[in-house]
Amino acid sequence: MRQTPHLQLIAGEKGAATDARARHDADAIIVSPDEPASAVLPDNPVESGAEGDMFRAAEGRWGSREIEITKVDFIGPDGDAGHVFHSGDRVEVRIGMRAPLPVDDFVVGIGIFNADGTCCYGTNTYLEELAPETIAGDTEATFAIDALDLVEGTYKVDVAIHKIDGYPYDYHRLLHTFRVKSRVKDVGIYRPRHTWRFSGNLKFKEPRGPRS
């Protein structure tokens, strides 16, 4: 297992036949109240027989629905919903939720995965020290990304709301997709903001145009 601080992703078997099985085995973004938060990522997150292809891994939805995710929208810099963005764009993930009865134990989480099954980023409100107080009725949580610094490619998103101990109210596994486009055909996952500096007799022609 690989471990990094701040995030715990419990990896289990592909999908779940019931909510009870999902609570025990399925992937969930949770923090155990009995131990420090840490990231536990599966050695092989793809368990569908299509190793290396995250888009053929198990997709699904499970949870008690005591709180329900009613919509997930990706909002671009123009304020419109969409699924195709440019590297560096400001993007918001708006998560609509409904709690018929007031609930005081809840965590909202998000995870972004590339086509190889690599978790590009994952976090939740508990990890970011937002202590839950109450959720009731129709609500919305917005995860705002100032700059979508990912390389060109297609990405899938997990969205979840669950208890602090991981009990899922509603978990969307790889059900939401967006694409990043870029004129620069670099590789990897993360595209850091950067510049080049040179010294000596080393020259380049003028840039071909803006890169995004």
CB 124 within 8 A of CB 108: yes
Cβ count near 133 (within 10 Å)? 8
pLDDT tens for the 212 residues of the chain, in order: 233 333 333 222 233 333 344 334 334 433 333 333 323 222 333 333 333 454 555 779 999 999 999 999 999 999 999 999 999 999 999 999 999 999 999 999 999 999 888 999 999 999 999 999 999 999 999 999 999 999 999 999 999 999 999 999 999 999 999 999 998 888 888 887 777 777 677 877 876 665 55
Distance CA 178, CA 120 (A): 13
Q: Which CATH number fits domain 2-181: 3.30.9.30, 2.60.40.420, 1.10.10.10, 2.70.50.60?
A: 2.70.50.60
Sign of CA dihedral 99, 83, 77, 160: positive
What is the reported pTM? 0.69
Burial 168-188 (b: 16+ CB within 10 A, else e): bbbbbbbebebebebeeeeee
Distance CA 8, CA 18 (A): 22
Domain ranges of the chain: 2-181
